[in-house]
A and B are shown apart, each in its own frame.
Chain A
Amino acid sequence: MKITKKEVEYVARLARLALSEAEKEKMTAQLDSILQYMDKLNSLDTKNVEPTSHVLPLNNVWREDKVQPSLSREEMLANAPEQAEGFYKVKKVIE
């Protein structure tokens, strides 16, 4: 086994993803078979290979720090599930 149900539960917590018991079982089996497939990469020697995170030779892209028009508070809040007094409203964060 490449991955256990306990690890699936741990990863789900890291990903902030509530999974049902049935989902956990299925996820464990499916991730296990996918991760076994990934093992084929281990047959390659990559000791002297640089990693590629980006295919183009772009470095940091800078822009002038100029004030430009942006969306209004009303536009930003238009999609909010809950709002109050011009803010996003969430469950209490501080005990």
Chain B
Amino acid sequence: MVTQETDDLVFHKTCDLLKPYNKKNIALTMDTDIATELEIDSVAILDLIMEIEDIYGISIPMNLMADIRTIGNLVRAIHDLGGNK
């Protein structure tokens, strides 16, 4: 039986992927703004998304990027695309 990964687990996996970009070592929460607080440039965010896509076997359309500002937004997008399995 396929079990769904909890959003909490998705959050922790996402935080692990964000570690190399977290140069100021700020505390990551669901509300952390990926672009402004972590200062990740637009292309690097796309590369990060690709790593997440590989892990969950999903494609996150670029059209959704405008709505993904925080880590929480990203976790929700993964959930909605059925990736947290």
Please say whether chains A and B are actual partners in one complex. no
- Chain A residues within 8 Å of B, Cβ to Cβ: none
Residue positions of B touching A, CB distance < 8 A: none
